[in-house]
Amino acid sequence: MIRPLVAGNWKMNGLKASLGEVLAVAEGVASGATGDAEMAIFPPATLLYAATVAAKGVVALGGQDCAADADGAHTGDISAEMLADLGASFVILGHSERRADHGETNEIVNAKVKAAWRAGLTPILCIGETQEERDGGQTLDVVGWQLRDSLPEGASAANLVIAYEPVWAIGTGLTPTVEDVAEVHAVIRQSLVDRLGEGAAAIRILYGGSVKPSNAAELLAVPNVNGALVGGASLNAVDFLSIAGVYKA
Ligand code: PGA
C-alpha cells in the first residue's frame, strides 16, 4: 500500500499574506479532508520558514530547487542544507521550468538529487516530454533517458518521488488522456524496477500538469499514479484540499 502524496508547487507566487492558505490547508488536513494522503507545499523559499509554522506539523514543506553544493561562493543560490535547516523535508528537482529557463541538464539535476540526499531531503524528480516530442512519438524515449540520466545510484522508495509532468500540460489546462498517463507511468514504474529491484514498486510516481478539482478523481485513479504535483490549483487552499479530497475514504 503506497501512501499517496499531493504536492503543491507555488512557483514564484506568494507573499506573506499567502501564509493563510498554508494555515487553511493545515486545518483541512487536520480535520480529515484529505484522508490518508500525505500533503506537501512548496512555497517560494522566502516563505518557507514561516510556512513551517503555519503548517502546524500536518503539512510537509519543500523547496522548489536547490544548489548542488552545500555552501560556498554561489550568490543567490540556496543549498539543500539551507532548506532542511528551515524545516523542509522535500525538494522539487528538474522541474521543466528550471530545465527550460535555467538550462538545467540531466547531469545538473543528477548532482542536485545527490545534494538533496546529502541534506536528508526527499527529491521530487520531474520528467516529461514537450509537445514537439509527443507529436514526434518520442515521449517514452524522452522520459526514459531523463529518468536514467537524472537519477543517481542509491534511489529507493524511502528517498525518492518521481513526478511525470508533460511540459505541454503545465499551466495550459490541457491534460493527457488517462490511457496516455497510464502508459507513461507504467513505463516509469518498469524502468525503476528494472534498475532498482522490486522495492521500486513502492516509489511514488506523481502526475503533474493542469491537475484541478474537476479532473483529479480521474487522473489520480490511474494505475501507478500515486499522487499529484499541482501548480496553479495549489495556490488556493480550497482547490488544493479538494484535489486531495479524492483520497478521503
Ligand atoms: P500546473 O503546474 O498544475 O499549474 O499545470 C504543475 C507544475 O508545474 O508542477
For residues 123 and 84, give the distance between their C-alpha atoms in angstroms, rounded to a whole number: 12
Question: 79: buried, middle or exposed (CB in 10 Å: 19+, 13-18, 0-12)?
Answer: buried
Active site residue 198: no
pLDDT of 87 higher than 90:
yes
Find how far residue 78's CA is from the centre of its chain.
18
User: Taking a C-beta distance cutoff of 8 angstroms, is the pair 125, 5 a contact?
Assistant: no
Cα(166) to ligand 1 centroid in Å equals 10
pLDDT at 10: 98
For residue range 1-55, list pLDDT tens digits in order: 899 999 999 999 999 999 999 999 999 999 999 999 999 999 999 999 999 999 9
Compute, in angstroms, the gap from residue 129 CA to the centroid of ligand 1.
Answer: 14
Number of folded domains that form the chain: 1
- Please say if the pLDDT value at position 80 is more than 90: yes
pLDDT digits (tens, 9 = 90+) for 164-179: 999 999 999 999 999 9
User: Which residues have C-beta atoms less than 6 Å from ligand 1?
Assistant: 9, 165, 170-171, 208-211, 229-233
Full domain range(s) for residue 140: 5-247
* Residue 74 annotated to the active site: no
Q: Mean pLDDT over all residues of the chain?
A: 98
Q: Is 31 helix (H, G, I), strand (E, B) or coil?
A: coil
What is the pLDDT at residue 67? Answer: 98
Q: Which segments of 203-248 are extended strands (E)?
A: 204-208, 227-230
Burial class (CB in 10 A: 0-12, 13-18, 19+), 57: exposed
Say how many Å lie between the CA of residue 150 and the centre of ligand 1.
20
What's the CATH number where 56 sits? 3.20.20.70
Q: For the segment 107-117, what is each residue's pLDDT rounded down to a tens digit?
A: 999 999 999 99
Q: Residue 1's pLDDT is what?
A: 87
**Placement of cell 526527499 in the chain:** 122
| pLDDT tens figures, 186-240 | 999 999 999 999 999 999 999 999 999 999 999 999 999 999 999 999 999 999 9
